[in-house]
Amino acid sequence: MRLLPDLHKVLRSYVPGIGKRYDESVAEDLLSPEAFQAELAILGLSGHTFGPEEYAASLGEYLFLEIDICVIPDADYPGLKRKWALLGPLAELRYFKGTRQVAVLVPGSLPPLALALTILHELGHLAAGDHLIDWSTEDDARQTGVDSLFASIHPGRRLAQRLPLRNEHHREREADLRASYALIAGCLGADSPYAVRMFDVL
């Protein structure tokens, strides 16, 4: 069976691994399915079926954070989804610095698949350690053109084996990757080929 060109393009943008991942210039710097499966092994989820709630619980336990997924009935807040759509993401991650509290705010009117991917995207930022970036430093870097992002990373735990990516666009792309990988791995469980390879290594 052959995919129609337009359908292939759509699938490629949503499901990493179908065709090229994003653009070639950044593909080698982004998270691979194998590296994500290694993260799942750390969380105890590799080879198991799971959803956003189970991923959040395991991630929170690993990061010593209390993660609350808040599905907001946006019919009660008519301007909320429009505001988020104008800003870019359809959800918001709130990390309360100095506490162990994290909230993922997401509109309840999203279809189930979009809801799951949106929650997993925000959790992907946590896994990468993006919440540890000193955003005021990044704002200064944007204004001065100096790459000083990593001059101040707040101390804290992250699941990723490396520091957050320097480029904001790449951070968003990698959060998309984590969301896609998590959705697929969570659905396939032990049937995931990457999980099998991980267990073979162990």
Residue 16: the pLDDT is 42
Strand 66-72: give its sheet, edge to edge: 66-72, 101-107, 92-95
What does the alpha-carbon distance between residue 64 and residue 76 come to, in Å, rounded to a whole number? 33
Tokens 């904001």 belong to 168
Kindly state whether residue 27 falls inside one of the protein's structural domains: no
Residue 92: the pLDDT is 84
Kindly state whether residue 14 falls inside one of the protein's structural domains: no
Kindly state whether residue 20 falls inside one of the protein's structural domains: no
Measure Cα distances from 119 to 56, 75, 89 in Å.
9, 19, 11
What φ, ψ does residue 68 adopt, rounded to 5°?
-110, 125
Kindly state whether residue 23 falls inside one of the protein's structural domains: no
Kindly state whether residue 75 falls inside one of the protein's structural domains: yes
What φ, ψ does residue 172 adopt, rounded to 5°?
-65, -40
Q: How confident is the model at residue 26 (pLDDT cuts 50, 70, 90)?
A: very low
Kindly state whether residue 105 falls inside one of the protein's structural domains: yes
Instruction: Note the pLDDT tens digit of each residue in 9-25.
Output: 443 444 444 333 334 34
Kindly state whether residue 150 falls inside one of the protein's structural domains: yes
Tokens of 35: 């590296």
Domain range for 178 is: 34-201
Q: Domain tally for the chain?
A: 1
Instruction: Note the pLDDT tens digit of each residue in 136-153.
Output: 655 555 554 444 444 455
Contact call for residues 117 and 129 (beta carbons, < 8 A):
no
DSSP lists the bridge partners of residue 199 as: none
Strand pairing class (101-107; 92-95) = antiparallel
pTM of the model: 0.75
